[in-house]
Structure 1
């Protein structure tokens, strides 16, 4: 009796020969079957598909005495010299090293025992000509049809799940539920089964999954077209769709939920699970589904509600492990201090209030002062950050922020924003064209008296005082002339150090002369919706008394550009900018920390209220999740992507996950002595890149810790120490027996 089977879990072909009171001629008969010159060796799977391999030489067997009655003797098959020793006689197996097409030259090797024979199969032509080895079963890539790497990555993880390989290589069609209204008429399961068989066919070339994608788009329009998608979202849909298509329950019974208050959790959990299986029975439930215990506590009446719900995968949050570093530039309005950058550390999940409190300490803010934070973009205030509850996640690393120190007593006065303009000249065909171009960081102040334009000018000159160039530098610019005469330094210094002279100090009859002098100084324009309105020094500013903020455009003359250090006014650092040739420190966190964060108690959000049956009102209850029943295949989704109404973000946190020894005994609330809580990693779906664009690949363990990377149609071996990275997105674990 010969039984030939393929084990996808170990990637080996086992040839078992039962030896029951038979003599040595049994060995000869068996080897003739596998080594006939005229016949093909046929390997059949349960579905009836045939793969054929040729053995060229008759194997001459030694005269081995008969084995012990009732024992099962194994022939150990090896290819290309790859040999794995085994210890148990009745479970001895050999692994076929997977290469590419037909079997090569055969040799016999004995293990030295009377009832065991090891058959070594080697390549007939090491140089590559002639025969090649048996195909690397399962190491087949998927072609990218256009941004379908998300689909390819998830599929490769699933088609290397041992239980699913056994199932879809078998007679799975008998389980298809064509009448399930929640299913896809069996079409999704048939398309997936056909795709899996192509990927596991001997000698397969990269497969183009067009038919599968067509079926996917038919039942999930969100995945139609060729846009980028999330591999975890695709995986969730595929698992649910396969379950419904393969649900063995043709008519789901109606089961009324009972009030189990006061009953032991074990009894309640078992009843929930029985009720679930009564309506849901498929290979997906058998392999991938576990059970949560969900506990809700009303914050008012302390009502406790316990339910037990099935899960297909576990989504773990990535808690922030470090503070966020941010750099802001503080501008003073007292006319004394220069702008000063401050680098502070704030919580990543913090609010604007946390930033202001930390920055106030860093810049020694006085009790009579307050900070106004603004984002600068293209030399303008893009937005004022004036809501203390705003999330700091809204601030990006490449933003440029300033904080203006303002006196508290002036908070009721209107805020004036000074925007700087300078002349820019361009030359075209010998013609000189001039236009005004914005530059520098806006300056702000609060003004009480708007009786004349001179008040605005005086306030602006006060803000500019810290930017005055050193006197000796400016004087040197005017030293000497063509005749060697020296400029009157006293008059020049007076002009430099006395920019605060107010028009009120000049007689009213000299207003025209003063305006002429200001043409070589600064010109001020009130910005409104229609067109800029020039501000006259000796006339009131036309601002409504209800105005809280207005903008003033300041035109700088070339003389003033030389008098002030505009470089100090223009340099503004980003919130965070890595140093040259250095990388930002990578966050690292263990998978255990992620599990602890997932299982900790937390209040429900205001948009996710729980209706308390005792209070008869929606309540923001406290929720606690516990792992109660673990599946054979545990899928862990690392929540790297976060979304809100403003923007999307990806966390590049490095998660240190175990490969061989994930023990969940400390995280499961219900211990079943018959089941192991130890898991081993066998596949990873990776995402590289950011939110705007990225790429998915997969790592797969093909048995005995031999890892391969699946990058669409490319498949190549990788070392185990390479599979841990910050790109790991979805982890696939299988249950193993505890040591």
Structure 2
């Protein structure tokens, strides 16, 4: 919850909207002085409780002389959202993206109820875009287009090749596990390379051997000769220095955000037959489908779908994804000719596995005309 709130609170167009409302003159002086009330509660409980978060984070309290003399616990918004969605009421770990989506949607619903359907809410103006889906019959070329709104863009991470489950045992006995995908025509050394690339901050100074239940593996062994998918990497006592592993930190084979977006918008063949309703066709045929952005939002929230559920197997995809800090150009993903260039200002990072972990937020904070990146970690 905290990581999502920090990122949303540093979305300055939305924060400024709330600050303008919180600082304007209010005729009800008694309620204005009440620390448990603000005028956004007249719109709805979720909108009001979020405004309370913004007030505590951004409006200085004159009773406290030091900038670091107080902390704020967002108990009220947690209680408010927990009453509406009980899964967020406990202290159990929940998905940050699901919390953020729920918060945005609830504030949008409350605002639309307040202002009417003929006007756009600030949530709609900032976060809502539309995706156009086009299905084309391969026989008669009849096309069916549908348009749907979105506020968070979920991007699958393209995983190709064979899947392996790796366990790394450090010299001190600590273990780390992850799932990686490597080309099926690769070699055992590709497993070592993929693991080292996934841990850029770890210092690999000692020899590493790879093993299965059967025996130690030769790095040049073709992967097609392995009959198991579980491989153990064991750090030895032999000091080698970092030189042997430098070749594995070039990231030349990593995914890029642009690549994920291209895959999302690529033409795909539908697995099941499709009923074409064109008068001259009217039968089940093969068809293709393509997604395009018919309207991109002012603030684009992208979710990298790292949690996978397939064939009864649950895993967290650890693949590194390279993305730009500035000038993410999405103009070529939209049929319109309008410019769509984005600047990164906030990130939510998950550490741990699919069964548990911790969320950390990174955001640009503007003060005194200067913008600085901060880490927000409540552990």
Q: Say whether the 8 Å CA contact 2:346–2:364 is kept in structure 1.
A: yes
Q: Give SS of 2:332's match.
A: coil
Give the Å deviation of 1:298: 3.0
Q: 1:522-556: per-residue Cα shift (whole Å, max 9, x none)?
A: xxxxxxxxxxxxxxxxxxxxxxxxxxxxxxxxxxx
What pairs up with 1:115-194 in 2 under 5 angstroms? 151-171=1-21, 186-194=44-52
Residue 255 of structure 2: aligned partner: 589
Q: Give SS of 2:230's match.
A: coil
Q: 1:256-292: per-residue Cα shift (whole Å, max 9, x none)?
A: xxxxxxxxxxxxxxxxxxxxxx4x6201111111222
Using the alignment, how far apart are the partners of 1:233 and 1:281 within structure 2? 23
What pairs up with 1:378-397 in 2 under 5 angstroms? none
Q: Say whether the 8 Å CA contact 1:176–1:245 is kept in structure 2.
A: no
Using the alignment, how far apart are the partners of 1:201 and 1:578 within structure 2? 52
Residue 80 of structure 2: aligned partner: 215
What pairs up with 1:60-99 in 2 under 5 angstroms? none
Alignment of 1:196 with 2:54, yes or no, is yes
Structure 2 CA distance for partners of 1:401 and 1:221, relative to 1, 3 Å: farther
Residue 294 of structure 2: aligned partner: 628
Q: Say whether the 8 Å CA contact 2:154–2:304 is kept in structure 1.
A: yes
For this pair of structures, how many residues does the alignment match? Answer: 294
Q: 1:163-195: per-residue Cα shift (whole Å, max 9, x none)?
A: 1111111227778786xxxxxxx1111111111
Using the alignment, how far apart are the partners of 1:654 and 1:705 within structure 2? 26
Task: State the TM-score, normalized to the length of structure 2.
Answer: 0.67
User: CA RMSD for the aligned pairs?
Assistant: 3.6
Candidates 314, 321, 335, aligned match of 1:669: 335
Candidates 259, 264, 273, aligned match of 1:598: 264
Give the Å deviation of 1:399: 8.2
Q: Give SS of 1:702's match.
A: strand
What pairs up with 1:288-307 in 2 under 5 angstroms? 288-299=127-138, 301-307=140-146
Residue 348 of structure 2: aligned partner: 685
Candidates 551, 575, 585, aligned match of 2:230: 575
Residue 190 of structure 2: aligned partner: none
Candidates 148, 157, 163, aligned match of 1:318: 157
Give the Å deviation of 1:636: 1.1
Residue 220 of structure 2: aligned partner: none
Q: Say whether the 8 Å CA contact 1:688–1:695 is kept in structure 2.
A: yes
Q: Say whether the 8 Å CA contact 2:361–2:377 is kept in structure 1.
A: yes
Using the alignment, how far apart are the partners of 2:51 and 2:59 within structure 1? 12
What pairs up with 1:244-643 in 2 under 5 angstroms? 244-247=109-112, 252=117, 278=118, 281-299=120-138, 301-320=140-159, 324=163, 348=181, 575-580=230-235, 588-604=254-270, 606=272, 612-614=276-278, 621-643=287-309
Structure 2 CA distance for partners of 1:605 and 1:694, relative to 1, 3 Å: farther
Using the alignment, how far apart are the partners of 1:167 and 1:633 within structure 2? 14
Task: State the TM-score, normalized to the length of structure 1.
Answer: 0.36
Give the Å deviation of 1:667: 2.4
Return the structure number with greater helix share.
2
Using the alignment, how far apart are the partners of 1:574 and 1:710 within structure 2? 37
Candidates 347, 365, 378, aligned match of 1:702: 365
- Give 5+ residue unaligned stretches, structure 1: 1-150, 179-185, 253-277, 328-346, 360-396, 403-571, 714-739
Residue 192 of structure 2: aligned partner: none
Q: Say whether the 8 Å CA contact 1:177–1:245 is kept in structure 2.
A: no
Q: Higher relative contact order at CA 8 Å, sep ≥6: structure 1 or structure 2?
A: 2
